[in-house]
Amino acid sequence: MPTIIDGRKTSEQIKSEIAAQVSEIKAKGGKIPHLAAVLVGNDGASQTYVGAKVKACEQVGFESTLVRLEETVTEGELLKVVQDINQNPAIDGLIVQLPLPNHISVEKVTNKIKPEKDVDGFTPANVGRMTLGWPAYVAATPYGIVELLKRYAIETAGKHCVVIGRSHIVGSPMSILMARNEYPGNCTVTLTHSRTKNLPEIAQSADILIVALGKPGFVTADMVKEGAVVIDVGIHRVEDVSKKSGFRLIGDVKFEEVATKASAITPVPGGVGPMTIASLLHNTLLAAEGKIYSK
Ligand code: GUN
């Protein structure tokens, strides 16, 4: 049996570490970290995610502000909300939940966020700093994966890491982080995508396989080397009449069959997913402490 990399347990551990740090800050009369989340419209998944982020803030003792805006809000109005939060000294971290309605430019809104408060790590300033290896807010999913590799003491130096998927929020930053000259990192990295030739052969040569392409059950056992570490970023609902909800969650990896070959693997649910909120809290704590931009 492979090691099951338990993101749920790890994220709870991180949350309790953060809660302990908040207690210390409180005891010393320091600044309580404060996260502002902006949610536009009524998208069900976005409401669930933002609700979970606000709840996690409460759990660890952070302050939080949820700003809800109508689907019909103009780009200018949203930019003004972001600007007001940028200038509000009480607020340390700011996230604008994506996706945004089509009439609003994600690039413009992202670029409006003050890099010092960009705890999602989405602004060009933070992506650039991360790429240079400078102190930076790293996006929640890549940071969560790095933290799992660390806490499970997965060896990375000299390994071949294959990343499937080149999205701005997962695949691309993950490839950069795994190639960095530090732990976890020092991998030889191959970043693969929809135009890659011989993807199954390349995946098969991975010591560490990070799958973030958004296709349910894409990675099968024949694409995985014996003893590989497999990180599954996918999350999909599939119909399941045996469940009360009528569905179950699966990843980009066929877990049952791949688990027979992997040395360690993240499950879905309970792997990478729960780590993203822990990462956001971590970044918000850094923001309150002013740690990233002081360097
Ligand atoms: N939508 C999906 N994932 C994310 C995330 O990490 N941050 C924000 N702001 N929106 C998202």
Chain segment 71-85, per-residue pLDDT in tens: 999 999 999 999 999
- Residues 78, 104 contacting (CB under 8 angstroms): yes
- Cis check: omega of the bond before 184, within 30 degrees of 0: yes
- Residues 115, 146 contacting (CB under 8 angstroms): no
Would you list the domain boundaries of the chain? 29-115, 140-273
- Which DSSP state fits 117? G
Q: Mean pLDDT throughout 283-289?
A: 97
Handedness of CA 200, 222, 179, 267 (dihedral sign): positive
pLDDT in tens, 42-62: 999 999 999 999 999 999 999
Please state which CATH class domain 140-273 belongs to.
alpha beta
User: What is the reported pLDDT for 295?
Assistant: 54
Please state which CATH class domain 29-115 belongs to.
alpha beta
Going by CA atoms, what residue is nearest to atom 7 of ligand 1?
97
CA of 136 to the centre of ligand 1 (A): 17
- Which DSSP state fits 3? E
AA identity, residue 120: D
- Residues 15, 278 contacting (CB under 8 angstroms): yes
CA of 212 to the centre of ligand 1 (A): 15
Contact residues of ligand 1, CB 6 A cut-off: 95-98, 120, 140
Other C-beta atoms lying within 10 Å of the C-beta of residue 201: 9
Instruction: Mark residue 267 as left, alpha or beta (left: phi above 0; alpha: psi -120 to 50; beta: remaining).
Output: beta
Going by CA atoms, what residue is nearest to atom 1 of ligand 1?
98
Question: What percent of the chain shows pLDDT beyond 90?
Answer: 99
User: What is the reported pLDDT for 294?
Assistant: 83
Q: What's the Cα-to-Cα distance from 182 to each of 139, 178, 250, rounded to whole Å?
A: 18, 9, 32
> Per the structure block, which two tokens stand in for 183?
């732990």
Q: Mean pLDDT throughout 280-295?
A: 93
pLDDT averaged over every residue in the chain:
97
Catalytic residue numbers, as ranges: 53, 97, 120
Is the pLDDT at 250 greater than 70? The verdict is yes
Ligand 1 atom nearest to 37, measured from its CA: 9
pLDDT in tens, 252-270: 999 999 999 999 999 999 9
Q: Do domains 29-115 and 140-273 have the same CATH topology?
A: yes
pLDDT in tens, 109-168: 999 999 999 999 999 999 999 999 999 999 999 999 999 999 999 999 999 999 999 999
> Per the structure block, which two tokens stand in for 280?
């956001």
AA identity, residue 270: G
Q: Structure pTM? A: 0.96
Is the pLDDT at 19 greater than 60? The verdict is yes
